[in-house]
Amino acid sequence: MPELPEVETTRAALAPHLTGRTVTAATLRRTDLRWPIAAEVSTLLPGQRILEVRRRAKYLLLDTAVGSALLHLGMSGSLRVIPAHTPPRPHDHVDLVLDNERVLRMHDPRRFGSVLWQAPGSVHPLLAALGPEPLSDAFTGDYLYSLSRGRRAAVKTFLMDQAVVVGVGNIYAAEALFAAGITPLRPAGRISRERYALLATEIRRVLEAAIVQGGTTLRDFISPDGNTGYFIQQLSVYGRGGQPCRNCGRPLKQGLIGQRTSVWCSHCQR
């Protein structure tokens, strides 16, 4: 599934092509994806100017005066701005037609994506309980330390809880914990304030580096310009179980933590 850097890469690529454009029509080749497509996409969005393209967690929001289209890429979805006359391929489910003879087209083979609606001045229920953005000022080591007190769950599971912080998925949690020298097995409540300060710094650094390099392309995901992400070439632990640790050379451990495959170095991470 695309994680935060992939979604942010998508937002940054789409924003110059969408901001200031007016949606003239919505073409729905399916009326449902993971959930039914919001009726407002067809009834309210046409005729509206896109004021801003934002990201919240792994959702993209196209803001207009009458509300926001809320898009999620699901497992393998993608969004591209292409000429309006381009014939649709299989799994091209949604077109938002723009006023410059181009369309924003959503491609979603597995149909786990979504196209929902957020009314002005409200927060969609899917966004209401989310934690802070990891690249925001609200996300600090002190915040993690305070929230973790009394938590027995493994710190990797704690980081992947979207109510704690959004967008730190399996890949980036593993990489940040390795960089901070913290084993993913340690209970979240047994990590010091100082180590959480380092961990928060490493989460930010890892995510920012991945965004710069277009994310970590896995399975079907590609960015709107058709390019793949290159951060996968710099992964220290994720997907490298049994291979030598890049720091000490010992074989990396692999196991399940919170039902997710996890890789770590038992020597470098304590």
Q: How many residues does the chain have?
A: 270
Is residue 260 part of the annotated active site? The answer reads: yes
Strand pairing partners for 103?
Answer: 82, 97
Given the residues 11, 56, 58, 80, select the one marked as catalytic: 58
CA dist list (Å): 23 to 19, 56, 78, 242, 255: 11, 22, 19, 51, 48
Given the residues 2, 5, 134, 224, select the one marked as catalytic: 2
Given the residues 3, 8, 40, 202, select the one marked as catalytic: 3
Is residue 2 part of the annotated active site? The answer reads: yes
Mutual orientation of helices 193-212 and 141-148 as an angle, nearest 10°? 120
Given the residues 21, 111, 205, 260, select the one marked as catalytic: 260
Is residue 89 part of the annotated active site? The answer reads: no
Is residue 156 part of the annotated active site? The answer reads: no
Active site members: 2-3, 58, 260
